[in-house]
Structure 1
Amino acid sequence: MRAERLNAVLDHIAQHGSVDVVHLSNRLGVSGATVRRDLRALHDQGLLVRTHGGAMANNVGLELPIRYKASHHHPEKRRIGLEAAKLVQDGSVVGMTGGTTATEVARALADRQNITVVTNALNIATELVLRPNIRLLVTGGKARHASYELVGPTAEALVAEYHFDITFVGVDGLTVAEGCTTHDDTEAHTDLAFIRQSRRNVVIADSSKIGKVTFARICDISAVNDLVTDKDIDPAELTALRRAGVAVTTA
């Protein structure tokens, strides 16, 4: 399907920085003309730069918009969301940053009673706004098109007024040495605002994010209480995280 091809193209460029039409045609099992149409569509959306015979990333550390991330590792993210939601007790105030895995947590919490959710993610707010059983607060801030998150000083000022029993943090990378990282520095500051106001911080990330470091640091590993991930996590990373004091749950 076309959406799967576009995801595959963006994944390859995110990992390698560039790609050529012949390679993609062989890898995806489609004609060169189809690949060229896909590359032009992504170029027109500003997600890559067309070159003679292929394409290249248009920035360092390509960040995929959330509409493309949604289908990546979806079964794993769904399981992570269901498992993470079990950590929320009745009456809790829940902080929630953005991301596709956080969206799965929100969906798992949608039928819960007597909880308050504070989020800076527009798509998560959309998931929960019609649920009268959930008290929902949404921050202001500058909207990021890639993640649908509201970020910056306005968001951080509101978050600083609240205290959370538990916060779910989506990340683009997590290691013991570098802690939690993401692609955008402003988003990292807003995520940190949530973490500072929370008694328990839970990173939710599929295993492809573990052992990876991206552009901007959110927090040190010492600020992370729990990690909920999938069973494909690298055993060495799992051991290192547990030794660092992180309670790791695999779903």
Structure 2
Amino acid sequence: MTMTPRQSDILDLARLAGRVNVDDLAAEFGVTVQTIRRDLTELCEAGLLARTHGGAMLPSGVTNIAYEERRRLSAEAKDAIGRAAAALIPPGASLFLNIGTTTEAVARALIDTPNLMVVTNNLNVAQILGPHPTAEVILTGGRLRRADGGLTGDMAVETIRQFKVDMAVIGASALDADGDLLDFDPDEVRVSRAILSQARAAMLVADQGKLARAAPVRIASLRDLDRWVTDAAPPPALRKLCAEARTAITIAGPPR
């Protein structure tokens, strides 16, 4: 779906509060409750919210949002994060990029960085970097997840273990309040863990909207990473955690 500005605002309110109420939204936006119900129905049909009595809430933390919706969600923030992350990757670097719409934004921003080696289990990343004139792009192989172009399974893990790269750049579906990086697919998480184990440095690329989501499978902790590139200042508890663990935080500038 293509969200209207009001639907985007409704989704932002749901991320902040966890749930929204039809009557409150109607008063907030100065529209009828019927209009709000239509908005909520469309957002729920897209998997972005789940209906409740009298309103809606963030969906269950056991099923991911469809790829096309994830790609559109926070698209400007992801592009800004991608540019900020790419600016931290020097020419001649070797790196992993895993599955995710934010790592795809990093790939787009790397198109002018020369002499890269990129190992990825993301077909979309490979296609984005295909026209890069001086990048060597290596696909892991593995079981294709047609929904989003991800490659998972033992073959992906074994390919990754053949490399030792300068930097792992990973995304995650959710970020818990205690600093844990979370995802939905155990096979995908196995690949992400292998990526982290085979890199000299690790960078998370994740917008603040990930703090409003839940997912059931743990990848790692912010404590295990060297840097987190995000779009706004994190909550105080996560800033403290990162400071204690010496995990640097880079806040991406506003979209250009």
Could you state the TM-score of these two structures normalised by the residue count of structure 2? 0.76
CA offset at residue 119 of structure 1? 0.6
Question: Larger deviation: 76-85 or 58-67?
Answer: 58-67
User: Where does residue 162 of structure 2 map in the other structure?
Assistant: 161
User: Where does residue 216 of structure 1 map in the other structure?
Assistant: 217
CA offset at residue 220 of structure 1? 3.3
Question: Larger deviation: 116-125 or 202-211?
Answer: 202-211
CA 1:54–1:243: 2 relative to 1, 3 Å: closer
Find the aligned partners of 1:148 and 1:168 in 2 and give their Cα distance.
17
Q: Secondary structure of the residue that 1:203 maps to in structure 2?
A: strand
Q: Secondary structure of the residue that 1:124 maps to in structure 2?
A: helix
User: Where does residue 141 of structure 1 map in the other structure?
Assistant: 143
The sequence identity of aligned pairs, in percent, is 31
Find the aligned partners of 2:58 and 2:176 in 1 and give their Cα distance.
23
Q: Secondary structure of the residue that 1:94 maps to in structure 2?
A: strand
Q: Which has the higher contact order (CA 8 A, sep 6+)?
A: 2
1:173 is aligned with what amino acid?
L
Confirm or deny that 1:191 pairs with 2:192. Answer: yes
Aligned ranges 1:1-251 → 2 under 5 Å: 1=2, 60-139=61-140, 140-143=142-145, 145=147, 147-171=148-172, 172-175=174-177, 177-210=178-211, 214-251=215-252
* Structure 2 residue runs without a partner (length 5+): none
* Structure 1 residue runs without a partner (length 5+): none
Find the aligned partners of 2:33 and 2:205 in 1 and give their Cα distance.
38
CA offset at residue 161 of structure 1? 0.5
CA 1:51–1:207: 2 relative to 1, 3 Å: closer
Q: Secondary structure of the residue that 2:200 maps to in structure 1?
A: coil
2:134 is aligned with what amino acid?
N
Find the aligned partners of 1:48 and 1:76 in 2 and give their Cα distance.
20
CA 1:240–1:14: 2 relative to 1, 3 Å: closer
2:186 is aligned with what amino acid?
D
2:238 is aligned with what amino acid?
E
CA offset at residue 115 of structure 1? 0.6
Q: Secondary structure of the residue that 2:199 maps to in structure 1?
A: coil
What is the aligned-residue RMSD (CA, Å)?
A: 3.4
2:90–2:113 contact (8 Å) kept in structure 1: no
